[in-house]
Amino acid sequence: MTATEHPFAHLSENQLAELAREFDAIHDQVRADLGERDRRYIKGVIRLHRQIAVAGRALLLGSRSKVAWTAGTGCLAIAKILENMEIGHNVLHGQWDWMNDPCIHSSTWDWDTASTAAAWKHSHNYIHHTYTNIRGKDKDLGYEIMRIDPHQKWHPAYLAQPLYNLLLMAFFEWGVAVHDMDVEAIRAGEKPMKDVWHDIKGISGKARDQILKDYVGWPLVSALAATAVGRLVHREPRSRARVLADRARGRRRKGAVRARLAAARAEGAGTFAATFWADFTANIIRNLWAHSIIFCGHFPDQTYTFSQDEVRDETRGGWYVRQLVGAANITGSPLFHLLSGNLGYQVEHHLFPDMPSSRYAEIASQVREICRRYGLPYNTGPLSKQLGTVHRTILRLAFPGGKVRPKPGPYRGDELERAA
Amino acid sequence: MAEVGMRPPASPLRRRALRALRWLFTPLRPDDYLELINPLWSTRELRGRVERVEPERGGAATVLIRPGFDWVGHRPGQYVRLGVVIDGVHHWRAYSLTSSPDRADGLISVTPKRVDGGVVSPFLVDRVHPGEVVRLGEVEGSFTLPDRLDRGLLFVTAGSGITPVMSMLRHLAPGPGLRDVVHVHSAREADGVTFGDELAALDEQHQGFRLELRITGEDGRFTPADLDTLCPDWRERETYACGPGELLDALQSHWKRHGDAGRLHHERFQPIVGGEDAEGSGGTVRFAHRNLDADCPPGTPILVAGENAGVDMPFGCRVGVCHTCVLPIREGRIRDLRTNAVSEKHNEIVRTCVHGAEGRVTVEL
């Protein structure tokens, strides 16, 4: 395993210090340049999310039509993806706090997912982004339920991990919410019951709101809309003379009224169900997407993990390099990066978690240049490749044994630069 | 958290309707969608739209704003926190309202004077355009007229100290309010008197209003002793003064010594922050979370020291009004840059925008 040990063992203390200065300089240079352009960007993404969400909900008012159902579900899924990835995750990182905007601020933001903002900021911003890929410290390394690194001790329970990974994919937001509670600490009795209770209250509050909105509220709105429209459209044409004649004879057309009511009820119930399943599907799509992007962040073959010994007395330079080699990028189009919350630039994100995500693409070439000069790896690849290696690892490490995968070695500034 | 505008005076019905619908939009609010159509409809914070910008003399401009909801009202002499977005960043400043609360068109106005090297005032004077959305904070201030005017009034103003008094004059002018008013106003140059024409017109139209304009560039600086000739019965009057700190200090000690200090009302502007003749020795501010020491020269607020060192500091009005910038001081001696009072702090929360360091101060963030 010596070949995969320490990708930056060749760097001296001085070189690490110099590298830290270079990364700091990139950070400061972007920080000084933030302005109106960046504000327009995030305001634009937020507006886009809300417009797509409105379009989705509006289309789903007619969710009994197959076309409206499909388009509405698609809109809703994309809105939820934008809201979680490019907006929620990044706002909660404090990437937009510099604007001093009370409505787009890490201290006030809440997102459309099961995790509470406060629990997420602790487990993600603090624990994961500080102890990235340190075995036993970074709880996102396998999320305490998976064997994702051959250094982790095998246990028979891991045999089921390919299966429960599928469940996790579908219900990712709930998995993340429970993960934020730090189940391992609770089991070990390290977490005070008061905090556990606080977390449970937080999650159940969010769960109630989510379920009420997606599985009761909007289906109900659709059903009411469908019933109302049905009554307007399907009103039986009766001439005024006929109505007066009927009334004069005291004839009540009870049967017809009853039939109409039954039809309206059926229409309403059908629409309720259709919207219910549309919301469910949109949530599943969002969860699958989020799971895929996030698992590609640290679990592809290219990334390194660290023992706690290796990071003892770590310098700022050492921290930067650990972030650099512990994360992996995904290549893709600007649209792909928007929908993945710019986590296709996971490397840049881990170097500068509080930098507005829209700037990662702009600094990527500077980061690669540093990698080239210092002989460090720059992990990246297309989604299919990254995701493929992630799922291969999940399958392989369900069984005992397994070796650390070969690493690509230092970045030489070749294919990416030529492609660009 | 970042500073936010005041809660708009929306009708209870509207609020109840929005609250009833909130569960359909969680974690957002119906407001977040309504504001896609018109940002002024938000009931989360009061916003306004700039209707007109009128250049004034002396490097000032009157910005007329239409609030998103009916104006909550103010008493002449009060100020409002105004939030504007400049180069992507929300900035807040407190400005005296210069409009009369009785305006029929529902507009309010502030009249900032361009401060060279400033951020917000140059923006408001030179760059802001009609249509721009601004944020409005609470109306505050106790520099207001008495409920009953049974005594003559004396206004002593200098420079942009005219602004709160302008709202008073505009409020008094239509009624019998100006029947016994003396106004001593100082300005540096004759053709740079903000509101000069309007003051002259008031002087002409109202028998009981007398303007004593002092051009300091020609006539020399106004001192309280001049009042014996400008307004011999100054002791009998209810006096309202607004202007630079030295003027107010001089007036205060004059009233204490020769008059009735209870009849002098004053409004202090621009709590002196910085400047070469700042007192104290300054110090360093330690930001424990970043393991960082920031230099804090005499007269420099902790807020500015932090910003200069690259720390993302919470900030708001920068004049000690809004409390957005408060941070706990773990330990150290700080100086109140407005009063120069020095105090020792242990785990106390202070406004970083108006306090400087005296020696070594450790701040939690």
- Cβ–Cβ contact A256 with B under 8 A: no
Give A201: exposed, middle or buried? Use CB within 10 Å, 0-12, 13-18, 19+. exposed
Calpha distance A56→A58 (Å, rounded): 5
Phi, psi of B362 (to 5 degrees): -110, 125
The phi-psi region of residue B291 (left if phi > 0; otherwise alpha if psi is between -120 and 50; otherwise beta) is: left
- Which two structure tokens, joined as six digits, stand for B293? 């020491």
Peptide bond into B27 cis (omega under 30): yes
Calpha distance A341→A95 (Å, rounded): 12
- Cβ–Cβ contact B36 with A under 8 A: yes
- Cβ–Cβ contact A217 with B under 8 A: yes
For A397-420, the DSSP string reads TTSS---PPPP--S--S-HHHHH-
Return the number of other C-beta atoms located less than 10 Å from residue B47's C-beta: 22
pLDDT digits (tens, 9 = 90+) for B258-317: 999 999 999 886 544 444 456 788 899 999 888 889 999 988 999 999 999 988 888 877
What residues of A are in contact with residue B32 (Cβ under 8 Å)? 50
The end-to-end CA distance of chain A, in Å, is: 34
Would you call B91 and A99 a contact, using CB atoms and an 8 Å cutoff?
no
Q: What's the pLDDT at A59?
A: 97
- Cβ–Cβ contact A24 with B under 8 A: no
How many Å lie between the alpha carbon of B55 and the closest alpha carbon of chain A? 25
Would you call B26 and A209 a contact, using CB atoms and an 8 Å cutoff?
yes
- Cβ–Cβ contact A220 with B under 8 A: no
Q: What's the pLDDT at A180?
A: 85
Calpha distance B159→B113 (Å, rounded): 9
- Which two structure tokens, joined as six digits, stand for A209? 């709101």
Please name the member of B23, B27, B90 whose beta carbon is closest to the beta carbon of A101: B90
pLDDT, chain B, mean: 91
- Cβ–Cβ contact A20 with B under 8 A: no
pLDDT digits (tens, 9 = 90+) for B215-271: 998 989 999 999 999 999 999 999 999 998 889 999 999 999 999 999 999 988 654
What residues of A are in contact with residue B26 (Cβ under 8 Å)? 112, 209-210, 212-213
Q: Tokens 């003559």 belong to which residue?
A: B152
- Which two structure tokens, joined as six digits, stand for B319? 């004049």
**Selection from B124, B151, B100, B114 nearest residue B265 by Cα:** B151
Calpha distance A344→A278 (Å, rounded): 28
- Cβ–Cβ contact B104 with A under 8 A: no
Let me know: does B96 contact B162? Beta carbons within 8 Å. Answer: no
**Per mean pLDDT, which range of A36-45, A308-317, B98-107, B196-205 is the poorest?**
A308-317
- Cβ–Cβ contact B88 with A under 8 A: yes
Please name the member of B23, B44, B87 whose beta carbon is closest to the beta carbon of A217: B23
A with B: how many residue pairs have Cβ under 8 Å apart?
A: 75
How many Å lie between the alpha carbon of B25 and the closest alpha carbon of chain A? 7
What residues of A are in contact with residue B3 (Cβ under 8 Å)? 100, 102
**Selection from B49, B43, B48, B50 nearest residue B8 by Cα:** B43
For A89-150, the DSSP string reads IHHHTTTTGGG--TTS-TTT---SSSS-HHHHIIIIIIIIHHSTTBTTT-TTSSTTT---ST
Calpha distance B108→B62 (Å, rounded): 10
What residues of B are in contact with residue A98 (Cβ under 8 Å)? 88-89, 312
Q: Which amino acid is at A65?
A: S
**Selection from A261, A124, A222, A258 nearest residue A182 by Cα:** A124
Would you call A101 and B2 a contact, using CB atoms and an 8 Å cutoff?
yes
Q: What's the pLDDT at B2?
A: 75
Hey, which residues 306-345 in chain B have their CB within 8 Å of chain A? 310, 312, 314-315
How many Å lie between the alpha carbon of A29 and the closest alpha carbon of chain B? 11
Calpha distance A102→A89 (Å, rounded): 17
Q: Closest chain B residue to A218 measured between Cα atoms?
A: B24
Calpha distance B95→B109 (Å, rounded): 9
- Which two structure tokens, joined as six digits, stand for A48? 């886009």
The end-to-end CA distance of chain B, in Å, is: 12
Calpha distance B167→B296 (Å, rounded): 38
Q: What's the pLDDT at B270?
A: 56
How many Å lie between the alpha carbon of B27 and the closest alpha carbon of chain A? 6
Q: Is B30 helix (H, G, I), strand (E, B) or coil?
A: helix
Angle, CA of B81, B69 and B5, to the nearest 5°: 30
What's the rounded mean pLDDT across residues B132-156? 92
**Selection from B200, B291, B277, B281 nearest residue B246 by Cα:** B277
Let me know: does A129 contact A215? Beta carbons within 8 Å. Answer: no
Would you call B3 and A34 a contact, using CB atoms and an 8 Å cutoff?
no
pLDDT, chain A, mean: 91
- Cβ–Cβ contact A37 with B under 8 A: yes
* Complex prediction ipTM: 0.88
Q: Is A314 helix (H, G, I), strand (E, B) or coil?
A: coil
Q: How far is CA A141 from CA A127, A135, A145, A164, A286, in A?
A: 11, 7, 9, 16, 22
Residues ≥6 apart with Cβ < 8 Å to A53: A75, A76, A79, A80, A83
pLDDT digits (tens, 9 = 90+) for B314-341: 887 787 766 778 888 888 999 988 778 8
Q: Closest chain A residue to B1 measured between Cα atoms?
A: A107
pLDDT digits (tens, 9 = 90+) for B5-53: 889 999 999 999 999 999 999 999 999 999 999 999 999 999 999 999 9
Which DSSP letter does residue B142 get?
Answer: S
How many Å lie between the alpha carbon of B42 and the closest alpha carbon of chain A? 11
Q: What's the pLDDT at A299?
A: 96
Phi, psi of B312 (to 5 degrees): -80, 95
Please name the member of B33, B45, B88 whose beta carbon is closest to the beta carbon of A99: B88
Q: How far is CA B222 from CA B74, B156, B213, in A?
A: 31, 10, 10
Q: Closest chain B residue to A215 measured between Cα atoms?
A: B24
What residues of A are in contact with residue B4 (Cβ under 8 Å)? 102
pTM exceeding the 0.90 threshold for the entire prediction: no
What residues of A are in contact with residue B91 (Cβ under 8 Å)? 100
Give percent of chain B with pLDDT exceeding 70: 96
Interface test with B, best of A37, A101, A215, A222 (most B CBs within 10 A): A101
**Selection from B50, B47, B82, B85 nearest residue B68 by Cα:** B47
Would you call B90 and A31 a contact, using CB atoms and an 8 Å cutoff?
no
Q: Helices marked H in A181-313 — which ranges?
A: 183-187, 193-211, 218-233, 240-248, 254-298
Q: What's the pLDDT at A3?
A: 42
Q: Is A299 helix (H, G, I), strand (E, B) or coil?
A: coil
Full 3-state SS string of B183-245 = EEEEECCHHHCCCHHHHHHHHHHCCCEEEEEEEHHHHCCCCHHHHHHHCCCHHHCEEEEEECH
- Which two structure tokens, joined as six digits, stand for B102? 């009785």
Would you call B310 and A54 a contact, using CB atoms and an 8 Å cutoff?
no
Let me know: does B110 contact B62? Beta carbons within 8 Å. Answer: yes
Let me know: does A357 contact A307? Beta carbons within 8 Å. Answer: no
- Cβ–Cβ contact B2 with A under 8 A: yes
H/E segment holding residue B305: helix B302-308
Calpha distance B117→B114 (Å, rounded): 9
Q: How far is CA A413 from CA A27, A338, B159, in A?
A: 22, 25, 62
How many Å lie between the alpha carbon of A213 and the closest alpha carbon of chain B? 5
**Selection from A269, A288, A388, A259 nearest residue A328 by Cα:** A388
How many Å lie between the alpha carbon of A98 and the closest alpha carbon of chain B? 7
Please name the member of A97, A112, A209 whose beta carbon is closest to the beta carbon of B23: A209
Return the number of other C-beta atoms located less than 10 Å from residue A21's C-beta: 11
pLDDT digits (tens, 9 = 90+) for A202-242: 999 999 999 999 999 999 999 999 888 877 776 666 667 77
- Which two structure tokens, joined as six digits, stand for B22? 């909130």
How many Å lie between the alpha carbon of A91 and the closest alpha carbon of chain B? 13
- Cβ–Cβ contact A208 with B under 8 A: no
**Average pLDDT, consecutive stretches of 10 residues, N- to C-terminus, chain A (420 residues):** 65 95 95 96 98 98 95 98 98 93 90 92 90 92 91 95 95 92 83 88 93 96 88 67 69 68 84 97 98 96 93 91 96 97 98 96 96 95 97 96 90 65
Would you call A51 and B36 a contact, using CB atoms and an 8 Å cutoff?
yes
Per DSSP, chain B holds a count of helices (H) and strands (E) of 9, 16
- Cβ–Cβ contact B89 with A under 8 A: yes
